[in-house]
Amino acid sequence: MKILHPAIALLTLLTSLSGCAKVDGPTPDGDKSCLEKQEVPVSAHSISANEKATVDQLFTANGIDKRNFRYIRYSRGELKTYYPPYATFDEQVVRVEEYANGIRVFTGQLIFLFRNGAFSSRTGSASEAFSLDATPNATPESIGVVFRAALKEYGDPGPQPCVVVEFGYYNLNAGTGNAPERLVKAWKASRKGSEYPFAYVEDREGKLIYYDNGIRTFR
């Protein structure tokens, strides 16, 4: 089993922007702990209404299809060059999450750079997640069991948590340079109301792909 430790700053759990449905009844191993299934729609943008209108206009004016983008960050500022030809640009930066088939690509973030209203560059590669279907094989309950086992294995203290799970897509080659995309259907699991710890679990076999306890060590 391959466990990736913190190498990528992934996504913050946005419970306030999502729809959650509580799953009643025991999990497959008899655990009756709290479990909620979350859905974050592509329309649940994390920027203000005025910023959204600005970003919509930028994408439309530059012929960029925005239908599968959830806007998560927008910034604007003046950029001056300090070399000939000297110039000043109105620079706008938009960070988005990709969606496919109506669900999130957990590893699919793109950054668009615009200067004076014109598209300048993009960081990140568009996902090919449309090749997969959007039907899960695992159940929310089984994902909760895997996540609680990971908490125990990696020594996370604390009471039995309420677990929030979300179905989507995951690139197994995320963070490995220019390696081709290896997409699988997967689940994100986390403690309710907490950013960390969180994990990604492969959908078909229920294997733990990635676990992050939020601890960062700098040398």
Q: Residue 125: how many CA atoms within 13 Å on its side-chain side? A: 14
Domain boundary assignment for the chain: 15-41+132-212, 49-126
Q: pLDDT tens digits for 19-37?
A: 555 554 444 444 557 999 9
Give pTM, 2 decimals. 0.79
pLDDT at 12 over 60: no
Decide if 122 contacts 112 (C-beta within 8 A): yes
pLDDT at position 64 is 98
pLDDT at position 28 is 45
Closest CA to 108 of 121, 90, 95: 95
Report residue 10 as tokens.
Answer: 């992934």
Q: pLDDT tens digits for 70-106?
A: 999 999 999 998 888 889 999 999 999 999 999 999 9
Distances (CA, A) of 182 to 61, 169, 185: 32, 10, 10
pLDDT at 167 over 70: yes
